[in-house]
Amino acid sequence: MLKKILIMFFLSFSLLLSEDKGWDGFEDPGFGNFSFLTTSWGELDFFDSWQILSTFYFDVYYYNEVVVQDVVDYGDQVYDMIIEDFGWLYFSMPKRVSIYIYRNAAEYARKTDMSQWAGGHADLKQNAIYSYEQKNIFANVIVHELTHLVFDAYMGYPRCMAINWLHEGVAIYEEKKVLNKVWKLKYLKDLDKQGELISIRDLFKTHIGLQETSQKVGLWYFEVGTLIAYLRTLDKDGFRIFTQNLKNYNNIVEALKMTYPWGFKGIDDLEKGWKNWLYQKGDTI
């Protein structure tokens, strides 16, 4: 099924990542009072009030202009920043991206066949991002989903690797980088002292989903984000070479050993290095 093929990326869970963000992805949007016909996946039957604004890279479909103002004002700039950060020489990006902002979570869920708890998702085949009107949509949803689009173009197809942690980590990392989000590393250090961090092995294995508690979900996202931040500090071209090795060999341990022969013999060494990095950093970065 098409929807199984599409890689769905959900809103990041940013409570732990930044001081001023809430669990927008988990807000109960409520049911009832909606009488529109359900549409099938991919069918976008817009209402008369649907508007379109185009920027250099984006076609933004929306109902209320104020909601998409940040997307229109900063979207192109942030897109350039993300592409630049991945090294634009090494991959080709979609020239245009469509962004659809539905009126609310219920309309979004009905028209995209997504779950109501998702804050948005990127459709990699359509070069499109789907979301709905919500607080801080640019900072909390669009930048994250845009990073998934860019990173997927960077990693290329076929996409058979179990690298959910990498995709989400990169999206969280770019959110911080391009939006100057604040990370409270003290939270991770405190959990580490209590033996309650998710191990790197488990980060790699976990495909985070609704069965987890919201605290566990938030922690998973935070940890994979900081893991990418740590990997990015190791050497200038290291991350690009690591991802290239991952593509070629589809094996994290091999990719680590080949990229960082001086450092990692396996995942335990990576975990040690990441924790050392955490403790070298301040409580807030």
Piece of the chain touching Zn ion by CB under 5 A; list 1-9, 184-192, 195-203, 268-276: 1-9
139 vs 171 by CB, closer to Zn ion? 171
* Cβ nearer to Zn ion, comparing 143 with 200: 143
Task: Point out which span in 171-179, 180-188, 234-242, 250-258 binds Zn ion (CB under 5 A).
Answer: 171-179
Q: Is 130 in the site for Zn ion (CB under 5 A)?
A: no
Per-residue three-class SS string for 143-189: HHHHHHHHHHHHHCCCCCCCCHHHHHHHHHHHHHHHHCCCCEHHHHH
| Cβ distance to Zn ion smaller for residue 123 or 168 | 168
- Residue nearer to Zn ion on the CB measure, 188 or 224: 224
> Which residue, judged by CB position, is nearest to Zn ion in the bound state?
9
CB of residue 155 vs Zn ion: minimum separation in angstroms? 14
Helices (H), the chain: 2-5, 65-86, 105-112, 137, 143-155, 164-179, 185-193, 200-205, 214-234, 238-249, 252-259, 267-280
Q: Cβ contacts of residue 169 below 8 Å, gap of 6+?
A: 224, 225, 227, 228
Residue 182 C-beta: closest distance to Zn ion, Å: 19
Pair 120, 145: CB distance under 8 Å: yes
Nearer to Zn ion, 133 or 168 (CB): 168
Which position among 124, 170, 171, 179 is part of the footprint of Zn ion (CB under 5 A)?
171
CB 75 within 8 A of CB 58: yes
Binding mask 3-32 for Zn ion (x = CB under 5 A): ------x-----------------------
Distance CA 202, CA 198 (A): 6
Q: Please give the residue ranges that form the binding site for Zn ion (CB under 5 A).
A: 9, 168, 171
